[in-house]
């Protein structure tokens, strides 16, 4: 309880460090990320994969409005986890950055360039007063100049590059699954399979094609593409993780 009281002394202002050099508000924002459903990214030599959990609270809700995979540019997609309204702000920021780059340099923005612009933006909200950090993590995936790239942004504003990663709920369990099964030479289709299997590994009773979202950007055409329901179903069947059909309503 002593410990609690001391922690409380330092965690209510974003502009201060605790005596052990931590920024509690940033750490709490990371908790907000964990409250969101999982999003997964996988990089293969043939392209990058984004897969997300799109469970909904009611059968009356339109799944399409559960925004977890976003197109940032023709060649870049972003998956998010955490505070939805915050994610929307960062997605909008990303799109404006991509457009600006196209306008200024007449060429598509690099995946790393975009990631760093986003993390710089996030960092400002952790250092300057009068606002709170963003309670969201993004997976920024894209292909530029033939190179597939996969990045994470976290609430502190740090960019990380990954071969495969998960953000949101069950992040650690999914990462363990990914570490165990990742194969640096797999095909893009295998990448989709790995992402979905990893997601299924933390879900009871398999996945339904309606309850997930999948997008890929292949090295071949460098275009962001969302997989339609039939294709999603085929992937689930191929990987033997298709849920029974009586599981329509689910908890986000």
Q: Which of residues 95-134 bind a copy of itself (CB under 8 A)?
A: 116, 119-120, 122-123, 125-134
Under rule CB under 8 A, which residues in 125-184 are in contact with a copy of itself?
A: 125-135, 151, 156-165, 175, 178-179, 182
Sheet with 76-82, strands from edge to edge, namely 69-73, 76-82, 136-144, 147-153
Residue closer to a copy of itself by CB (options 37, 236) is 37
Return d(Cα 238, Cα 3) in angstroms, integer: 51
- Sign of the alpha-carbon dihedral angle for 143, 82, 38, 249: negative
If we measure between CA atoms, which residue out of 209, 212, 161, 171 comes closest to residue 48? 161
Residue closer to a copy of itself by CB (options 74, 161) is 161
Under rule CB under 8 A, which residues in 33-72 are in contact with a copy of itself?
A: 33-35, 58-62, 64-67
Return the number of other C-beta atoms located less than 10 Å from residue 74's C-beta.
15
Least separation in angstroms between CB 75 and a copy of itself: 19
Beta-carbon contacts of residue 252 (< 8 Å; ≥ 6 apart): 37, 55, 56, 57, 66
Choice from 92, 107, 228, 229 touching a copy of itself (CB under 8 A)? 92
Least separation in angstroms between CB 233 and a copy of itself: 21
Which DSSP state fits 23?
Answer: -
Least separation in angstroms between CB 160 and a copy of itself: 5
Residue closer to a copy of itself by CB (options 48, 236) is 48
Residue closer to a copy of itself by CB (options 67, 173) is 67
Beta-carbon contacts of residue 18 (< 8 Å; ≥ 6 apart): 7, 10, 11, 24
Least separation in angstroms between CB 234 and a copy of itself: 25
Residue closer to a copy of itself by CB (options 62, 204) is 62
Least separation in angstroms between CB 66 and a copy of itself: 8
Under rule CB under 8 A, which residues in 213-242 are in contact with a copy of itself?
A: none
Beta-carbon contacts of residue 87 (< 8 Å; ≥ 6 apart): 67, 80, 136, 138
Least separation in angstroms between CB 51 and a copy of itself: 15
Number of chain positions touching a copy of itself (CB under 8 A): 76
| DSSP per-residue string spanning 207-242 | B-GGGEEEEEEETTT--EEEPPHHHHHHHHHHTT-B
Residue closer to a copy of itself by CB (options 56, 236) is 56
């Amino acid at each position: 309880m002593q410990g609690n009281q001391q922690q409380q002394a330092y965690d209510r202002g974003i502009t201060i460090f605790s005596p052990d050099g931590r920024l509690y508000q940033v750490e709490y924002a990371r908790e907000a990320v964990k409250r969101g459903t999982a999003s997964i990214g996988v990089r293969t030599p043939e392209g990058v994969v984004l897969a997300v959990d799109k469970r909904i609270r009611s059968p009356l809700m339109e799944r399409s409005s559960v925004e977890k995979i976003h197109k940032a540019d023709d060649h870049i997609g972003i998956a998010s986890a955490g505070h939805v309204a915050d994610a929307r702000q960062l997605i909008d920021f990303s799109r404006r950055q991509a457009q600006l780059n196209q306008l200024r340099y007449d060429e598509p923005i690099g995946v790393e360039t975009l990631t760093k612009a986003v993390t710089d933006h996030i960092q400002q909200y952790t250092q300057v007063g009068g606002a709170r950090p963003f309670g969201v993590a993004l997976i920024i995936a894209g292909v530029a100049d033939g190179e597939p790239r996969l990045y994470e942004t976290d609430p502190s504003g740090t960019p990380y590059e990954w071969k495969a990663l998960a953000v949101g709920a069950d992040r650690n369990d999914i990462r363990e699954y990914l570490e165990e099964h990742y194969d640096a030479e797999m095909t893009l289709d295998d990448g989709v399979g790995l992402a979905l299997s990893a997601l299924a590994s933390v879900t009871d009773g398999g996945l339904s094609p309606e309850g997930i979202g999948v997008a890929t950007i292949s090295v071949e055409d460098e275009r962001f593409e969302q997989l339609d329901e039939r294709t999603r179903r085929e992937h689930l069947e191929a990987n033997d993780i298709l849920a029974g059909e009586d599981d329509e309503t689910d908890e986000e």
